Structure 1
Amino acid sequence: MSKIRITKQFSFETGHALYGYDGKCKNVHGHSYKLSVTVIGTPISDTTNVKFGMVIDFSDLKKIVREEVVDVFDHATVFNKNTPHIELAEELKTRGHHVILVGYQPTSENMVIDFAEKIKSRLPENIALHSLRLQETETSYAEWFQSDN
């Protein structure tokens, strides 16, 4: 049976700052991220299965991505926990802000790697993550492909 790729798109708002960066992105700012998640698999061939003909139900993929990425990162501010931004992060937390501390510089490149690992760990064994595209602005995005990794 043929392998098929399906893609689901998501949107979320996230703030971040790039510690030590030599441009404007050293300041706390935010983006309207667009995440495209593409998985690959063989459509279900069992005619008695309610998901007959699907690689994965879009709603099942949506649940995974929402729980692992969207609901976690939406309207959060992300800081590298290994920088002096930790002080700002702690202050924001005490004021009731949603802050995420990560072990990497929160660039689109590093975020898409993080998201790939989170999503892959939740997919059924017969479904593979093919690629992710994380669009940070109208003209800028980072892509992750399983074939490159």
Structure 2
Amino acid sequence: MAKIRLTKEFRFEMAHALWNYNGLCKNIHGHSYILQVTVIGEPCRNETDPKLGMVMDFGDLKRIVKDEIVDKMDHSIVLNRVADYKNFINVPQLFDRIHIVPYQPTCENLLVDFAERIRARLPEEVSLFSLKLHETANSFAEWYAEDNE
């Protein structure tokens, strides 16, 4: 049977700052992110399976991405662990959704992180094909499994 790709789109708001960067993005700023997640697999052929004809239930994909990415990152701030972030932790009313990550929180590095999280949760018969993360309306980064094998 043919391989089929499914794509689901997610939207969330997130702030970040790029530590030691030489441009405006060194300042805390936010984006309206659009994340497109594409998986690939063969549609189920088991006549008794309620998922007959599906590569994956869109609802299951939505649950994985919301659990791993959207619900955690929406309305949060992401900072590199080498940044001097300790004062933020002392202001919980403004910074109770802060993520300290072991990388520079660029669009590119966020995709690598997101790919690892999503891949770990997919059913065995389904593979992550690609991710596309729009940071702005006209700027985005893409991750493809075939480039990372």
Q: Give the TM-score normalised by the residue count of structure 2.
A: 0.95
Specify the code of the residue in structure 2 equivalent to 1:44.
C
Specify the code of the residue in structure 1 equivalent to 2:46.
D
The answer to whether the Cα contact below 8 Å between 1:108 and 1:134 also exists between their aligned partners in 2 is: yes
- What are the within-5 Å matches in structure 2 for residues 31-50 of structure 1? 31-50=31-50
Which runs of 5 or more residues in structure 1 are unaligned?
A: none
Partner of 2:10: 10
> C-alpha distance in 1, partners of 2:120/2:91?
30
After superposition, give the CA deviation of every residue in 1:8-31 in whole Å (9 maximum; x if it has no partner).
Answer: 000000000011111111110000
Partner of 1:87: 86
SS at match of 1:116: helix
1:110 equivalent to 2:109? Answer yes
Cα gap change, 1:93 to 1:119, in 2 (>3 Å): same
Query: What's the C-alpha RMSD, in Å, of the aligned pairs?
Result: 1.2
- Using the TM superposition, give the Cα deviation of residue 76 of structure 1 relative to its aligned residue in structure 2, in angstroms: 0.3
> C-alpha distance in 1, partners of 2:137/2:130?
19
- Using the TM superposition, give the Cα deviation of residue 70 of structure 1 relative to its aligned residue in structure 2, in angstroms: 0.3
1:69 equivalent to 2:69? Answer yes
Deviates more, 1:88-97 or 1:30-39: 88-97
> C-alpha distance in 1, partners of 2:59/2:96?
30
Which runs of 5 or more residues in structure 2 are unaligned?
A: none
SS at match of 2:65: helix
The answer to whether the Cα contact below 8 Å between 1:92 and 1:99 also exists between their aligned partners in 2 is: no
SS at match of 1:2: coil
Runs of 4 or more consecutive aligned structure 1 residues displaced over 3 Å after TM superposition = 91-96
